[in-house]
Structure 1
């Protein structure tokens, strides 16, 4: 029998909440065909001129719809792989070129039958505060994941791992703030395509989308953190895309309770989209400025102002969105820093500080933070931030330290970050 042209040298499985990705490492690019069978549910992968040189039985199938994987030669030189399934899926496949970590790959995504169907959007999260006002919702996105490692540092540190840990810490800190709720686009080591990340933010009724990455360059010298917002070029292309896709017309711009494009002619829809996109970009630059100021206290900045680019994850027309490059993983010093949990904590705290500073100046209507800001003008409460002292809070609110201590039952004038101080009416 003639030697098969290509060997399948390895396999990996990446279960995600709405799909599972099976990756086969191949010695070269392969031709393949996939189809499904029912009774019982199966997916069949036929690979031309290939032979199996790895064990598929060693894969951990837990958390996936796959019950068993079988394989056998076919037509003398081809390879057939059969996935016995626990439930029906919608398969899609493609090949990937080599990257820093892997060679040629054949990728099969098994998408759950319920994935992508329209779902009732979640109701706004209500704060535990008796005012009953809703929380500000921040969606935190860890870049890359699964088969996409992102940039890789000189010591082998993978961007996807670093940013997931950083995103988890940031979400944890946001969640601990009164009046805030955090959501993660991914919670584990799996890949979500770029468009789906912004769709998740919309489904969560996000007030802000924060995508976390680590930069890289071909030389080790560049270093420093950056913050990006959407560019005007990216906004223009996205407006055209929305107008061209009829399924977008029923979507709202301006968030919950905003404006539907359904039934609007192209001219009016274009005007509404332009207005919404312009407001979103301006808000993104605003929150990015606050985040940069806080990051400047923790790390070197690569650029002193918010940069603008056409990143896909920033293209929501109605959700302020920023992309934070936490540092250059290609720089040995920053790679070491990003691998440190204490350093990531400081980075997360800085991003949180910028987010809070922005929303305390410009809170979304109907939120607890907006209610507190309004009450603060008539008495109310104030949340202690880094650098605050009780005397400064008293001076800013035209009262005295003694009055604040008496109003809050304090035995001394010490305050801690995150503490809420009740302000007496002036």
Structure 2
């Protein structure tokens, strides 16, 4: 090979190398497969959520099949790995909507999930951008096609008592603290005079002081005791753990335990019943918590939390109410912003989320509602101060989204700082949880002693 041929060959190799380098820069690699980092399943009666967390955004298509019922999901750009296979074991037998799940490599770069279903569902599939400690999330929310009404569900469980006959009280006994107004029971058809009884016309009663016919029936008829409905809202849940203590305690678990203890104590009262916005470990959007309380015509709404701060020395219990004029302190504003970000952490389907609801509810919130909330908060704060140090001795205010029910006195209770090791130990202690529940109940009774509930338009 002469010198000219050698130069031509070198030039050709150089051009080929340059072209290869240019293509590698301009054309992205198409063979990269996304990695599944975690799989989580959150079963609940309201809906089951399945979350796949990956290092890049995942794209999926899904369709429903009948006979038997199943949902088929194809995820593009994905290779089956051991983490994704964990989903099989995470479907429990008590899941209300999923029997089992099968997973496999359907074709190159496409993984197929097949969910065998227990009943017809209305699936919602959406993606979430990285937030907090989460990377990209692909979320499957499996809702029943016929959602159960919250009151109907509680009645079915035997947890929703109707208005109760008012027992004859002992004149020597003191009245209950939260004595509610009573309503007379209308007479039954058998108690009303029949047409035959009204003919002929009775003679006029010569004694004007004598009772009118039938009046004794009304006087002796049993009276109904107005049931007070209290909505308890354990904060966070599901994908949103809330604050995490140094010892590994999750806020969502602590506040659910306190709420359940408080529920049992409230229901021991003769004229009170309770509705929980969540009774298990699942995520509930902030606006849905408010909607639930309004659907059951709650007389009070109390959101229960366990505070956290960057400094572990922060300690004490607090109570907050809504403000339509700005936060009462920098700390209150900071906390409201943190609590209002729960939807981002928990994961809301933006397409179906009513963005206008929060602002509408704020506009409807009345001065009276906020005033009653402050009175309720003050009564509760006074009782909590007997079992734990108070972070601040008065009820604070800020724009908490979860307190924006326009017609329900609403407070947010920070039971203690879970970020403080000493208070974290308290929050996970059954005795302290019971003490906190007792204190809140005493605060409720103090509030109603000064402001008895008004009669409702209809009995529930």
Normalising by structure 2, we get a TM-score of: 0.67
SS of residue in 1 equivalent to 2:35:
strand
User: 1:99-118 alignment to 2 at 5 Å?
Assistant: 103-115=135-147
Does 1:196 pair with 2:227? no
Aligned-pair CA distance for 1:164? 0.4
Bigger drift between 208-217 and 175-184 goes to 175-184
Q: Could you tell me how far apart the structure 2 residues matched to 1:225 and 1:328 are?
A: 7
Which position in structure 2 is the counterpart of 1:301? 390
Q: Which runs of 5+ in 2 are unaligned?
A: 1-29, 168-222, 328-354
Output one character per residue of 1:216-248: Cα deviation in whole Å (capped at 9) or x when no partner. 11221211111111111589xxxx946998xx9
Output one character per residue of 1:198-232: Cα deviation in whole Å (capped at 9) or x when no partner. 12111221100111011111221211111111111
Q: Could you tell me how far apart the structure 2 residues matched to 1:100 and 1:38 are?
A: 39
What is the Cα-based RMSD across aligned positions, in Å?
Answer: 3.0
Q: Do the aligned partners of 1:66 and 1:86 also contact (CA within 8 Å) in 2?
A: yes
Q: Which has the larger radius of gyration?
A: 2
Which position in structure 2 is the counterpart of 1:154? 246
Q: Do the aligned partners of 2:384 and 2:439 also contact (CA within 8 Å) in 1?
A: yes
Picking from 215, 240, 246, the partner of 2:307 is 215
Q: Could you tell me how far apart the structure 2 residues matched to 1:179 and 1:99 are?
A: 44
Output one character per residue of 1:77-116: Cα deviation in whole Å (capped at 9) or x when no partner. 1212121222221111233455666554322100111127
SS of residue in 2 equivalent to 1:132:
strand
Picking from 28, 34, 44, the partner of 1:6 is 34
Does 1:335 pair with 2:424? yes
Which position in structure 1 is the counterpart of 2:437? 348
Q: How many residues align?
A: 336
User: 1:219-298 alignment to 2 at 5 Å?
Assistant: 219-232=311-324, 241=356, 274=364, 277-298=366-387
User: 1:55-70 alignment to 2 at 5 Å?
Assistant: 55-59=86-90, 60-70=92-102
Does 1:180 pair with 2:272? yes
SS of residue in 2 equivalent to 1:209:
strand
Q: Could you tell me how far apart the structure 1 residues matched to 2:146 and 2:433 are?
A: 36
Normalising by structure 1, we get a TM-score of: 0.72
Q: Could you tell me how far apart the structure 1 residues matched to 2:112 and 2:275 are?
A: 40
SS of residue in 1 equivalent to 2:366:
helix
Q: Could you tell me how far apart the structure 1 residues matched to 2:225 and 2:296 are?
A: 17
Aligned-pair CA distance for 1:341? 0.7
Does 1:92 pair with 2:124? yes
Q: Which runs of 5+ in 1 are unaligned?
A: 249-269, 368-426
User: 1:307-318 alignment to 2 at 5 Å?
Assistant: 307-318=396-407
Output one character per residue of 1:293-329: Cα deviation in whole Å (capped at 9) or x when no partner. 1111111111221111222211111111111011111
Q: Could you tell me how far apart the structure 2 residues matched to 1:96 and 1:150 are?
A: 18
Picking from 72, 86, 104, the partner of 1:44 is 72
